[in-house]
Copies of this chain bind each other. A is one copy, B any other.
């Protein structure tokens, strides 16, 4: 079979470099190490790409899969350059790009009864590398409660509130654990969410949300302030979107630093 024509390796006459070529929507099990976890088993969706010189017709798609198969995939926020560097080598590329998106679980105790439950967050590592440097972004989606300050102040009783989702993207120059990102964001909302709440806990989070109303604008500003205070953060983008309980559309706000 070794004589099968290698169409991908043909030279190309069109003179056009390809910015990114690779595979996406590929699922693979991984292990994550974070601040407080031994090792957490989860399932990631991968996108992998490299650049392609104007001289070559195609990349070798099977090598992307081989890079992932080389060994079990153990990741932490401290150690994200292994896959992109392997791609550079195996694909003879100048640039590589990797996206790894997975559900991440955090054990939480409820605020009054102390009942323990697991909360899930979507985490996405986005890494771009060349031979000399690696640029890593961590993106975490964090669901929160937001209670409307306007609704509270104009109404004689109650206030509309809802689930919102904060998408927090960050580049740092020293370790920032996933769970620290989660805590930073959750502390800026009307209340954090829990998977398990007993009645005393439900009273607590209801009153806490009522006592801490935030517009979607307040939410992103509060997160921006806390982010600005952390010297290790080089860049961030915070986007919040509320599943408004009084509308059939959502409200959103964005602040990007840098």
Identify the A interface with B (CB < 8 A): 1, 4-8, 12, 14, 16-29, 40-43, 47, 49, 52, 57-59, 61-62, 65-66, 69, 103, 105, 112-113, 115-120, 143, 145, 147-163, 191, 193-200, 202-203, 205-207, 209-211, 215-218, 220-222, 224-225, 241, 243-256
Contact = CB atoms under 8 A, between A and B. Distances in A.
A145 B246 contact: yes
A183 to B, nearest CB: 16
Given A42-B43, A158-B209, 15 more contacts: A6-B199, A14-B222, A20-B252, A21-B216, A25-B249, A29-B105, A65-B195, A65-B196, A154-B199, A160-B202, A160-B205, A162-B243, A195-B249, A197-B246, A206-B246
A200 B163 CA distance: 23
The 8 A-B pairs at the shortest CB distance, nearest first, are namely A158-B210, A1-B200, A41-B41, A26-B249, A155-B206, A21-B253, A27-B120, A7-B150
A41 to B, nearest CB: 4
Q: Name, among A69, A163, A249, the residue most crowded by chain B CB atoms within 10 Å (CB to CB).
A: A249
A217 B59 contact: yes
Contacts of A255: 16-19
Given A112-B1, A221-B14, A221-B16, A117 B193 contact: no
Given A69-B117, A112-B1, A202-B151, A20 B253 contact: yes
Contacts of A21: 216-217, 251-254
A153 B194 contact: no
Contact of A193 (B149, B193, B206, B248): B248
A58 B194 CA distance: 20
A120 to B, nearest CB: 4
A169 to B, nearest CB: 13
Contact of A49 (B1, B225, B252): B252
Given A1-B112, A202-B246, A225 B23 contact: no
6 contacts: A5-B153, A6-B150, A28-B120, A41-B42, A57-B218, A154-B199
B217 A18 contact: yes
A152 B158 CA distance: 9
B160 A145 contact: yes
Nearest to A107: B69
A198 B152 CA distance: 15
Contacts of A116: 69
